[in-house]
Amino acid sequence: MIELNLHKKLSTPAGEMDLHFECVLKAGSLTTIYGPSGAGKTSVLRMLAGLMQPDSGVIKVNNQTWFDASKGINLKPQKREVGFVFQDYALFPNMSVRENLEYALATKKETKVIDELIELMELGSLEKRRPDTLSGGQKQRVALARSIVRKPEILMLDEPLSALDQSMRSKLQDYILQIHKEYSPTMLLVSHEMGEVFKLSDEVVVLERGSIKQQGPPSLLFASRQVSGKFQFTGEILNIQKEDIIYIISVLIGNNLVKVAADEREVVKLAVGDKVLVASKAFNPIIQKIG
Amino acid sequence: MEWGPIILTFKLAFITTAILLVVSIPIAYWLASTKNRFKPVLETLVSMPLVLPPTVLGFYLLVAFSPSLFLGRFLNEWFGLKLVFSFEGLVIASIIYSLPFMVHPIQSGFANLPSSLVEASSVLGKSRIITLFKVLLPNIKPSLLTGLVLAFAHTIGEFGVVLMIGGNIPDKTKVASIAIYDEVESLNYASANAYSFILFAVTFAVLLAVYLFNGGYMKRFLK
């Protein structure tokens, strides 16, 4: 169990912001911190990893204190058993894929873990390549594998998939789930992608301007707030167009463009760029195999 | 022409460069990673030899190392080091004089590496020293090479500092640049030309090698 109580004054482009994050993570759970950019999500991860020092608060992992401002305890990142996947992957350019993984070993002899991870993440054919010759998705897989070599208690992923396209994303989400299944670390993920949150996490913490707005399972938070539809998707509004007396709203769901009709009262509340839930009930969807 | 001054010049340059490499890496690393408020002071001190007339530097070193004053006497009595008009003194002076040429490229090399590399390494349980040798230094090889070569070439070209603190003692402090001046003074243009040509050719070759290596041309040739 991981208990977090973090306070930190952050200076952001929008001025000073008080970050206050109080949360308990169950061992082996997969929690997502969800929120707009600049909400302080990455800072939470960095404080848990020991890369940033909170102004005050406590971090306790399995009853072991990692940080306690009042007692002056602050474990170095080296002493905390965490894995961290950086947004820019942070692969070491001077080492091959295999050497990047081996670097993470505490002693040089445990190469079994490396072979296992190379197999699990399907990196066999890339083993000898340098990071600068890899694609974004491949780098991501290496970074993910490297973060788990030491079998950390906590694995943190900072917007792991934001730089990848949709199809690559869903594939990598599977890899993340596989890592979680195989090694069951407590995972903490930062994301602003609703689909990702749904697919990956047991628990969501919604962070806005430095404070927690909501917390709970994703289905409870995002989906069934007012709608009890059987058929529902989340997407982003790309365009709102007036046609005669109704409005046509174009919504991007995954990588499909969907047009939804709406009347004036509904449109007032919506704007381009909004995240929306598209739901429907009382008719039978038709399912057809393609290709 | 004698080979003495040429040999002495390269001996001085090699020793100076080797010591500078060891000294500059920690300084450059500290400068690149610190937010300390004294950083500008150290940065200024490191950069001073770039703009200060060599004679000024040489003059103060001469005064500081003079056996009749505290530092010079202390070094002489405790370590038997005589730094005025000696080869050891030349090495110390050259290290100070060429310091920015070694520190600046290495510092900017460190500063250009993404900070996530250091963070990733520390999250993976590695100490700062291991991170420095296994991750940072291997990734700034071009900067290291640039620093090495600039410091080496700059030491070869030294004149003012050497003249002030070393004088003109054959096989001890008479380096090639001094020898050239000496030969011209005594209207010996042929030997002055010989010394000059060697320095010219060596400096050209060394710098060319760096540009070839750092530009990746070498790899193409070797393929």
pLDDT score of B196? 92
Roughly how many angstroms between the first and final C-alpha of chain B, as a whole number?
Answer: 42
Let me know how long chain B is: 223
Chain B residues whose CB is inside 8 A of the A149 CB are 124
pLDDT score of B69? 80
Which residues, 6+ apart, have CB-to-CB distance to A231 below 8 Å?
A: A279, A280, A281, A285
Distance between CA atoms of residues A146 and A144, nearest Å = 5
Chain A residues whose CB is inside 8 A of the B123 CB are 49-51, 77-78, 80, 82-84
Q: How would residue B218 be classed by pLDDT, with cut points 50, 70 and 90?
A: low
Distance between CA atoms of residues B194 and B188, nearest Å = 10
Distance between CA atoms of residues A98 and A115, nearest Å = 9
To the nearest whole percent, how much of chain A has pLDDT over 70?
A: 95
To the nearest whole percent, how much of chain B has pLDDT over 90?
A: 49
Q: How wide is the angle at C-alpha A165 spanned by C-alphas A159 and A166, nearest 5°?
A: 95
How many domains does chain B fold into?
1
Query: A275 by DSSP, 3-state: which?
Result: strand
**A84·B126 Cβ contact <8 A:** no
List the domains of chain A with CATH numbers: 2-222 (3.40.50.300), 227-280 (2.40.50.100)
Interface test with A, best of B116, B121, B123, B139 (most A CBs within 10 A): B123
pLDDT score of B79? 81
Q: Which residues of chain A have pLDDT under 50?
A: none
pTM: 0.79
pLDDT score of A228? 55
Listed in sequence order, the DSSP H helices in B66-188 are 70-79, 87-112, 115-123, 128-130, 141-156, 160-165, 176-185
Round the average pLDDT of chain B to a whole number and report it.
88
Q: Sign of the CA dihedral B55, B57, B62, B68?
A: positive
pLDDT score of A237? 86
Q: What is the pLDDT of residues B133-170, one digit of tens each?
A: 999 999 999 899 989 988 998 999 888 888 888 888 88
When CB atoms are compared, the residue of A83, A84, A92 closest to B117 is A92
* A66, two tokens: 């990692």
pLDDT score of B220? 60
Greater confidence (A289 vs B189) lies with: B189
Query: Any idea what the CATH number is for the domain that residue B106 is in?
Result: 1.10.3720.10
Task: Yes or no: say if A130 and A161 are a contact pair by the CB < 8 Å rule.
Answer: no
Distance between CA atoms of residues A117 and A8, nearest Å = 36
Distance between CA atoms of residues A108 and A258, nearest Å = 53
Q: What is the pLDDT of residues A163-212, one digit of tens each?
A: 777 777 778 888 888 888 888 899 999 987 777 787 888 899 988 888 89
Q: What is the pLDDT of residues B34-43, one digit of tens each?
A: 888 899 999 9
Boundaries of domain holding B206:
4-222
A66 interfaces chain B, CB cutoff of 8 Å: no
